[in-house]
Amino acid sequence: MSPLAWSRERLGVGVPSIDDIHREFVALLNVVATASDEKLPALLAELYDHTRAHFAHEHALMVKYRFPAIIEHQAEHGRVLAELEDLQERVAQGRTAPARAYVRDQLPEWFALHATTRDSALAAHIRHAQGGRRGESAPTGTTERAPL
């Protein structure tokens, strides 16, 4: 697969903090995909740390906005983090081919699908909770009303 290119039209979800972290993820993923054997372990560790922080940010938004698909979304995040941990161990043993294939082929394909499905659903839920606004902070000065 060719390097994953960031574009708001293709990968943007319309929530600025998610779009920013996704843009960073894509840039780092492309660096890791072309890393030398010497730099691969450190860059893979950096990708893992960034991905963990990325997923923690999304989790906080899911909790804040009571996203109904939180369990499924978190399970997918957990699977990707476990795969990255496994690949770090393989690279530490000198087995770089699986990591290279994963960051070059599988992870970009997964990310593009995940961003346009699960993360887009999260973003739509956030916008709905905010009354259609683009951004993640709740409207100020609002109170909840009991149903009539």
Residue 4: DSSP 8-state: P
pTM for the structure as a whole: 0.85
DSSP per-residue codes, 111-139: HHHHIIIIIHHHHHHHHHHTTS-SSSSPP
Between residues 120 and 137, which one has the greater pLDDT? 120
34-84, pLDDT tens digit by residue?
Answer: 999 999 999 999 999 999 999 999 999 999 999 999 999 999 999 999 999
Which of 95-99, 116-120, 130-134 is predicted with the least confidence, judged by mean pLDDT?
A: 130-134
What pLDDT is stored for residue 148 in this prediction? 29
- Reply yes or no on whether the pLDDT at 141 is more than 50: no
Instruction: Give the residue among 116, 117, 141, 146 at the shortest CA–CA distance from 131.
Output: 141
CB atoms within 10 A of CB 21: 18
| Other beta carbons within 10 Å of 136 | 19
Residues found in the chain: 148
Provide the CATH topology of domain 15-129.
Answer: Four Helix Bundle (Hemerythrin (Met), subunit A) (1.20.120)
